[in-house]
């Protein structure tokens, strides 16, 4: 008889209960220091411990059941790193002096970089030490890897990269003004890589918290708060939570609507984001994400249209005026309502223009125009499928000989492309089923 208490049996039982493999990290010196430091600020991490999970990486595990609607975590204001704390710090006088005022984002980024530079002597050192040293957000991607992204997200990633580079170059004079704080030249402390790290730390880890406007900061939104320990919570699209700063308890609180079983990962939901947005803003992809779709960008749409249509430019202008040139998608259920409506408007013959209002509301133009739309949707779907296959092939080639960071990025783009593949295959089936069969 097999030993039922063996490792394999335990793994099997865990799998049956829907638990994934994990290794606890709470005994690691950096996490022990973090918990000690937070305890001094009034936070008790009882009930949640850091662990590394096979499917999501580092996260928090419940060591006791969390009942439905119970608090998952409650982090006192003292533990939150906000722009007010930065203004009260040794950086404050430099920020207050600088004209025009720096943005709340740059204030936070500068503080993270300065604290990392100060090492063990930094007040926030226990927190800085558990932050990732690098990120998998597209601002880290080379052009070769960015080019493997689906067109729509590729353009957004390129814009994001340009915006980051612009932010870095326009913030350089301010960084240079911080020289008196450092013994090394500021240029070697505030490198583009350091600012990218801080920028990703803020963008991927802050919680939303509104702050009163400060005269010392620019008018850009000041809604960030870095929340040590709480920011170890990973995202699950299906989980419902209530989160926010509680003015009475003066704590940032998260309540879980469904609760969480003992020894399972405690998740929160970052928002109803599709995988493209998760990749752009957080540098990961959630498999089986119910919000995921495949975008049809304008260039792809144009590729599949008839150039001979003399009214094409006018039709595209009309679509633009009615906000029908963005968010055109394929989903697990086939082409979206917006995509089909855009195609219907594009399909119209001049003598049918009088019915544009009902078409905008979703009515088909005519039988033959509806067939035209389904055919165009099929062509679009096939075009995106071919692009997907080419990208997956190229990823497989590039994975040979890639270094650690590149490999992580390639695997991430690969997961996004695999999720896209599932959606496109399902869309193809849906379109095949609705296409009228030739009569025998």
Ligand X SMILES: C[S@@+](CC[C@H](N)C(=O)[O-])C[C@H]1O[C@@H](n2cnc3c(N)ncnc32)[C@H](O)[C@@H]1O
Residues that bind ligand X (CB under 6 A): 56-59, 132, 204-205, 231-235, 282-284, 286
Q: Which is nearer to ligand X, 130 or 343 (CB)?
A: 130
Q: Least distance (Å) from ligand X to the CB of residue 344?
A: 37
Q: Report how far apart, in Å, the C-alpha atoms of 36 and of each of 26, 29, 45, 47, 345 are.
A: 12, 10, 10, 15, 63
Q: Which is nearer to ligand X, 157 or 345 (CB)?
A: 157
Q: Which is nearer to ligand X, 141 or 284 (CB)?
A: 284
**Locate tokens 């600012």: which residue?**
195
As a whole number of angstroms, the distance between CA 284 and CA 279 comes to 5
Give CB contacts under 8 A, 24+ apart, made by 48-53: 48/72, 48/73, 48/229, 48/266, 49/24, 49/25, 50/24, 50/25, 50/26, 50/232, 51/22, 51/23, 51/24, 51/25, 51/26, 51/265, 52/22, 52/23, 52/25, 53/20, 53/21, 53/22, 53/234, 53/265
Q: Which is nearer to ligand X, 256 or 385 (CB)?
A: 256
Q: Least distance (Å) from ligand X to the CB of residue 18?
A: 15
Q: Least distance (Å) from ligand X to the CB of residue 58?
A: 3
Q: Which is nearer to ligand X, 37 or 94 (CB)?
A: 37
Q: Least distance (Å) from ligand X to the CB of residue 247?
A: 24
- Give the contacts of 389 (CB within 8 A, at least 6 positions apart): none
Q: Which is nearer to ligand X, 115 or 297 (CB)?
A: 115
Q: Which is nearer to ligand X, 56 or 84 (CB)?
A: 56
Q: Which is nearer to ligand X, 200 or 395 (CB)?
A: 200
Which residue sits closest to ligand X, CB atoms considered? 58
Q: Least distance (Å) from ligand X to the CB of residue 137?
A: 7
Q: Least distance (Å) from ligand X to the CB of residue 281?
A: 8
List, in sequence order, the alpha helices (H) in 237-297. Answer: 275-282
Q: Least distance (Å) from ligand X to the CB of residue 45?
A: 14
The strand pair at 71-76 and 251-256 is best described as antiparallel
Q: Which is nearer to ligand X, 116 or 428 (CB)?
A: 116
As a whole number of angstroms, the distance between CA 297 and CA 294 comes to 10
* Contact assessment for residue 158 and residue 307, using Cβ atoms and an 8 Å cutoff: no
- What are φ and ψ of residue 175, in 5° steps? -60, -40
- Give the contacts of 427 (CB within 8 A, at least 6 positions apart): 294, 330, 331, 332, 334, 335, 381
Q: Least distance (Å) from ligand X to the CB of residue 221?
A: 19
Q: Least distance (Å) from ligand X to the CB of residue 134?
A: 11
């Amino acid at each position: 008889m097999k030993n039922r208490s063996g490792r394999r049996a335990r793994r099997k039982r865990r799998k049956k209960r829907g638990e994934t493999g994990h290794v606890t990290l709470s005994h690691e010196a950096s996490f022990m220091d973090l918990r000690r430091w937070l305890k001094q600020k009034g936070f008790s991490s009882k009930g949640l411990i850091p662990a590394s999970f096979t499917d999501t990486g580092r996260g928090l595990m419940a060591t006791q059941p969390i009942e439905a609607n119970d608090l998952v975590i409650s982090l006192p204001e003292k533990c939150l790193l906000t722009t007010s704390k930065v203004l009260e710090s040794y950086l404050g006088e430099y920020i207050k002096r600088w004209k025009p005022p720096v943005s709340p984002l740059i204030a936070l980024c500068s503080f993270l970089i300065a604290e990392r530079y100060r090492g063990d002597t930094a007040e926030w050192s226990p927190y800085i030490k558990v932050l990732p040293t690098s990120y998998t957000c597209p601002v880290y991607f080379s052009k070769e890897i960015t080019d493997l992204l689906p067109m729509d997200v590729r353009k957004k990633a390129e814009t994001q990269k340009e915006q980051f580079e612009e932010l870095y170059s326009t913030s350089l004079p301010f960084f240079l003004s911080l020289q008196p704080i450092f013994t090394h030249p500021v240029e070697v402390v505030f490198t583009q890589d350091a600012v990218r790290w801080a920028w990703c730390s803020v963008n991927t880890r802050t919680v939303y918290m509104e702050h009163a406007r400060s005269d010392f900061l620019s008018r850009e939104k000041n809604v960030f708060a870095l929340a040590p320990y709480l920011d170890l919570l990973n995202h699950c699209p299906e989980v419902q939570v209530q989160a926010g700063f509680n003015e009475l308890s003066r704590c940032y609180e998260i309540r879980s609507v469904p609760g969480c079983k003992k020894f399972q990962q405690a998740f929160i939901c970052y928002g109803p984001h599709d995988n493209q947005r998760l990749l752009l803003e957080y540098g990961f992809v959630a498999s089986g994400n119910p919000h995921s779709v495949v975008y049809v960008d304008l260039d792809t749409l144009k590729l599949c249209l008839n150039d001979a249509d003399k009214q094409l430019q006018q039709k595209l202008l009309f679509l633009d005026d009615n906000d029908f040139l963005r968010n055109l998608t394929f989903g697990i259920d086939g082409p979206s309502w917006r995509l089909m409506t855009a195609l219907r408007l594009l399909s119209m013959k001049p003598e049918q223009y009088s019915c544009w209002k009902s078409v905008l509301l979703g009515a088909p133009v005519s039988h033959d125009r509806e067939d035209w739309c389904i055919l165009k949707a099929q062509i679009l779907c096939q075009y995106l499928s071919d692009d997907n296959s080419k990208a997956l092939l190229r990823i497989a080639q590039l994975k040979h000989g890639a270094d650690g960071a590149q490999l992580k990025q390639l695997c991430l783009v690969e997961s996004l492309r695999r999720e896209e593949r599932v959606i496109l295959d399902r869309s193809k089936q849906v379109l095949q089923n609705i296409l009228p069969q030739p009569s025998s």
